[in-house]
Amino acid sequence: MPELVFFSGTMDCGKSTLALQIEHNRSARGLTGMIFTRDDRAGEGKLSSRLGLVTDAVEVEDGQDLYAYLVDHLSRGGRADYVIADEAQFLVPEQIDQLARVVDDLDLDVYAFGITTDFRSKLFPGSQRLVELADRVEVLQVEALCWCGARATHNARTVNGEMVVEGAQVVVGDVNQADDIGYEVLCRRHHRRRMTAGTARAAALSPDVLPVPSAGEHF
C-alpha cells in the first residue's frame, strides 16, 4: 500500500542526503519521481545535500496545490511513480493535506523530509500536520552532535554568533557562515542556556578566568 512517510530530525542529520539516496535508488530501477522542495540552500528549484550532491526539483510556491500539480502533470502524459518533498517544514498544512491526497487518490508513495521544530523549539505548522497525517514518522538515526559532544536535539538561530529566540519563523541562513544569520544544532541543555559553540569559546577565553600561576608564584 502507498504511504505518506515523514522523515524528521534536526539539521545536519542527513535528511536531504537520504532524499537524494531514495531518488537515486528508484531512478536506477527505472522509476521516475516528482521532487518538490522549498527554500533549499542551493537555490530555487534545487534539492541539495551538505555533502555536495544536488538535483533539480520543483520549487513550491505560496498557495500552490501540489495535488493539482501532480494531476496536471500526469494528464499531460508525464510520469510520476513516487513523490519526494524536501524541506517539508516550510509547506503549509493545506499542502500537507494535498500530499496525503496524492497517496490516497493517486496511489503514489510520498516521502517527506523536514525539521520538526524551529529555533524556538516550536513545531513548524507543516511538520505538525505531517505528524498528524503520516502513515509513518521516521526519526533519522544519523545523530547530529552539539558542540559539547552530546546528541543534538534542538535547532538554534544565531545572529553574529549569538543565539536568538525571537524573530520570523522562516529565515533562510547558512549553517557555515561566521556572521549574520546562521543556524546551529544544540543539545537541550545548551539550547536552554543559549550557549552556542561561539559563546562557549568566548566564555573559555574570558579575562574573568583566573590565570594559571607560573613557577614560584602563589595566590
Q: Which residues are catalytic?
A: 87
- Label residue 29 exposed, middle or buried (CB < 10 Å: 0-12, 13-18, 19+): exposed
Compute the half-sphere exposure of residue 20: CA atoms within 13 Å on the CB side of its CA: 15
Contact status, residue 165 vs residue 137, Cβ threshold 8 Å: no
Q: Is residue 191 within a helix (H) or strand (E), and if so which, with residue range?
A: helix 188-192
Half-sphere exposure of 104 (CA within 13 A, CB side): 9
DSSP 8-state class, residue 210: P
In terms of DSSP H, where are the helices of 28-92? 66-75
